[in-house]
Amino acid sequence: MEDDMHYEQEINANRQKNLGYFFDDALSRVADKVCIIDLYGGRVREVTYRELDERMDRVAGALHRLGVQPGERVAMLVGNRVEFIEFFFGAMRMGAIPVPLNTRLARDTLALIFADAGCTCALIEPSCHRDAMTLTAGMGLRHVLVLDECHPGFLSYEAELAKPGAAPPPPPIADDAQAFQPYTSGSTGRPKGAIMTHSGMLWYVRYNQRYWPASQEDRGLIALPLFHKNALRGTVKPMLFAGGSFVLMPAYEPRAYLNALANYRCTYSRGVAAVFTMFLQHRDEIEKLDLSALRSMSIGSAVVTPELLDAVEAALPGVKTSESYGLTEGGSPFRAPIDGRPVPRGSVGVKGPEVEIKLVDADGKESPDFGELLIRSPYVCLGYHNQPEVTRQKITDGWLRTGDIFERSKDGFYYFRSRVDDMFSCGGENVYPKEVENLLFGHPDVVNAVVTPVPHRVKGFVPAAMVVPRAGSALQPADLKAFCLERGPAYAHPRYVQLVDALPLNGAGKIDRAIAQAALAADYLASETAP
């Protein structure tokens, strides 16, 4: 009897330390409540807390039966559907480390990540990537589980989950045990696998609920990819932890997004700037819909302008908008003040409680009001898988170098200014692209913009801009050059302006600055050398 009691206590302790069971409390309170409304495939699937929990246990049982061991990495090449969520947390329940993959990456980049992570098993959705089948077939994986269809040499996901057998008990979890391994953008080099811990992630969901609690009545809407932190950290985990619910869209489309907000009575949504600039082009749809349940919207993961926030609030009266900031490896250190003070436009908030931050100059000397942001909290990753040198460069004594330049006001509010590697010298003057972008956004006919440096034979580099004009406007590049010259320093005005229908985006929905810079540099050079 004593042995049984001790065993039960050990199992409960292991569950409490395992991120895969993070919504146990909500499950005990609202087991039969719908937690996910999945719109994948043109049909509506409603999943209750009890059903989600059972499916996660089945995932754990299937992986255990297939020989996956605690500590092994299992890849996920899956789109936005409930199977992503059940596999992600279900794998953790038996001690495996899920590796969520960006479905928009090129085959060679995915192959590099598979090899770097050393995955032993994978779950794939063939329709989400044209190379999913051939890529995984050639990676030497022990097993590949396939969604929706069955192929020789692959295992049917549903057939494996349907096989009888109990889930294994949760294994012991060390204080620094790895929970999952997301890969950060490889736009500036080799993709980096962040080592995220069970303890850090559990601290973060409890931290959020302690200071900015979500309610059981809250309902979020996810239209961004689940592999991105904006969706998982901003909606999935807080909603399931609190006993709330969320709607899961297979992809973002402005009108479908607006209709989902109305039809499912969503109370909030998070997204990147592109989500909001796109739906603002459909004000006719907004005017038709009942969006009275919607209370707040958060914009993050990329540069956000005050003008965009104002435009969203003007189009959606009564809806509070805010700008957020966060990193895959470091979480969100800035929040709205818990004393109720409003956050000024352009600011991402004040330092959150229980988080340490500091600003440092190029020499590493701490500065009170301007410099690169460093973060230290339980959330910060332990390092980067197989990249000890990058880990040494980025993390020292628990402090994560973000590579982001911030300014702190006398009232303690923080303002994002630039990436460390975005700043460039124009004739000896330091230019921050965001400052030029803010100038451009002040023009009433500018919907979206990105500024990058382009080579110049005299000044070294000069600013160039890719701009999306308001539909129907007669805006010309010369108008924007003059507009910036009138309102900002001469050295910072864009020497070349390209008007486009849309900005290039990466898989996470952020502006792809590398593509924009290459296009602007090529076009600027052509314009300078044209007869």
The confidence score (pLDDT) of residue 213 equals 94
Tell the residue number behind the tokens 């486009």, with chain if given.
Answer: 500
At a CB cut-off of 8 Å and minimum separation 6, what does 219 contact? 239, 244, 245, 246, 247, 264, 265, 266, 267, 268, 293
The confidence score (pLDDT) of residue 57 equals 98
C-alpha span between 394 and 378 (Å, rounded): 16
The confidence score (pLDDT) of residue 2 equals 63
Tens-binned pLDDT, residue by residue, of the chain (531 aa): 566 777 788 888 999 999 999 999 999 999 999 999 999 999 999 999 999 999 999 999 999 999 999 999 999 999 999 999 999 999 999 999 999 999 988 898 899 999 999 999 999 999 999 999 999 998 999 999 999 988 888 999 999 999 998 889 999 999 999 999 999 864 445 789 999 999 999 999 999 999 999 999 999 999 989 998 889 999 999 999 999 999 999 999 999 999 999 999 999 999 887 788 888 889 989 999 999 999 999 987 666 677 788 889 999 999 999 888 999 999 999 999 999 999 998 899 999 999 999 999 988 899 999 999 999 999 999 999 999 999 999 999 999 999 999 999 999 999 988 778 777 878 777 787 888 888 898 899 998 899 998 888 777 788 999 999 988 899 999 999 999 998 887 888 999 999 999 999 876 667 888 899 889 988 888 887 655
Q: How many CA atoms lie within 13 A of 319 on its CB side?
A: 26
C-alpha span between 129 and 140 (Å, rounded): 19
Per-residue tokens: 351: 């330092």
Measure CA of the first residue to CA of the last residue in the chain; give whole Å: 92
Give the 3-state secondary structure of residue 70: coil
Residues of the chain with CATH 3.30.300.30: 424-529
Per CATH, the number for 2-38+47-172 is 3.40.50.980
The confidence score (pLDDT) of residue 188 equals 44
> Among 328, 301, 303, 334, which Cα is nearest to 394's?
328
Residues of the chain with CATH 3.40.50.980: 2-38+47-172
The confidence score (pLDDT) of residue 507 equals 65
The confidence score (pLDDT) of residue 527 equals 82
Question: Residue 418: beta bridge partners?
Answer: 405
> Among 75, 239, 105, which Cα is nearest to 184's?
105
Per-residue tokens: 157: 């996901």
Per CATH, the number for 424-529 is 3.30.300.30
